[in-house]
């Protein structure tokens, strides 16, 4: 899948599955391989292969469906970055927060997140680019506020 995306969209961080598809199965396979260090090498390889294969078995059909419907190779949802940002921003308190630029209605959330991402970036964005924009914004906030997202929800909410 990643090779197909690379061929169609070219290399670089802006193609739709940049860093997505290869990372998940690879991380799981690495964990499966290295978690049983005392097991024989063959058993670890089989376990890692089965876990990576099973992950791909679930993700590939969803990704292909998303490509057929939206024209982009999106693993599961193009709203992942927005959801991540909701929990990792200056207003986050451990629960759902109403962001000033998002109407609190599921019917409008995706459109509002897209409009604000496009306003901030100064260009039109695809749904995958919008998701990546908000994921990066959440990561930037986390880097600037290391204790913020890790603080307990009760502490952050003042309960």
Report domain extents, the chain.
2-70, 80-157
Q: Which residue has the higher pLDDT, 147 or 126?
A: 126
Long-range pairs for 154-159: beta carbons < 8 A, 24 or more residues apart: 154/94, 156/92, 156/93, 156/94, 157/93, 157/94, 157/95
| Rounded percentage of the chain residues whose pLDDT exceeds 70 | 74
Q: Is the pLDDT of residue 124 over 70?
A: yes
Quick one: pLDDT at residue 158? 53
Q: Collect all residues with Cβ–Cβ distance below 8 Å to 4 and sequence separation of at least 6.
A: 73
Rounded mean pLDDT of 44-55?
Answer: 87
Q: Is the pLDDT of residue 41 over 50?
A: yes
Q: Is the pLDDT of residue 1 over 70?
A: no
Q: Is the pLDDT of residue 2 over 60?
A: no
Q: Collect all residues with Cβ–Cβ distance below 8 Å to 77 and sequence separation of at least 6.
A: 131
Q: Which residue has the higher pLDDT, 76 or 15?
A: 76
Q: At 150, phi and psi to the nearest 5?
A: -90, -10
Nearest to 117 by CA among 88, 82, 144: 82
Rounded mean pLDDT of 134-153?
Answer: 79
If you average pLDDT over every residue of the chain, what do you get? 78
Q: Collect all residues with Cβ–Cβ distance below 8 Å to 74 and sequence separation of at least 6.
A: 16, 17, 63, 66, 67, 127, 128, 131
CA angle 75, 80, 125 (to 5 degrees): 85
CA-based torsion, 26, 30, 31, 33: positive or negative: positive
Cβ pair 26, 55 in contact under 8 A: no
User: What are the helix (H) ranges across 77-126?
Assistant: 80-87, 106-121
Q: Which of 43-47, 64-68, 111-115, 151-155 has the highest mean pLDDT?
A: 111-115
Identify the band that residue 99 occupies on the pLDDT scale cut at 50, 70 and 90: very high
């Amino acid at each position: 899948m990643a090779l197909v995306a690379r061929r169609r969209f070219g290399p670089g961080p802006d193609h739709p599955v940049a860093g997505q598809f290869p990372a998940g199965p690879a991380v799981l396979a690495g964990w499966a391989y290295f978690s049983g260090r005392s097991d024989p090498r063959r058993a670890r390889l089989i376990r890692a292969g089965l876990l990576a294969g099973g992950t791909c078995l679930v993700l590939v059909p969803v990704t292909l469906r998303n490509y057929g419907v939206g024209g982009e190779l999106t693993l599961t949802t193009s709203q992942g970055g927005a959801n991540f940002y909701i929990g990792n921003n200056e207003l986050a308190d451990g629960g759902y927060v109403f962001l000033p630029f998002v109407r609190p209605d599921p019917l409008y959330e995706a459109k509002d997140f897209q409009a604000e991402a496009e306003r901030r970036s100064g260009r039109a964005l695809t749904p995958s680019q919008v998701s990546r924009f908000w994921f990066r914004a959440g990561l930037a906030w986390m880097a600037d506020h290391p204790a913020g997202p890790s603080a307990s929800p009760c502490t952050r909410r003042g309960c």
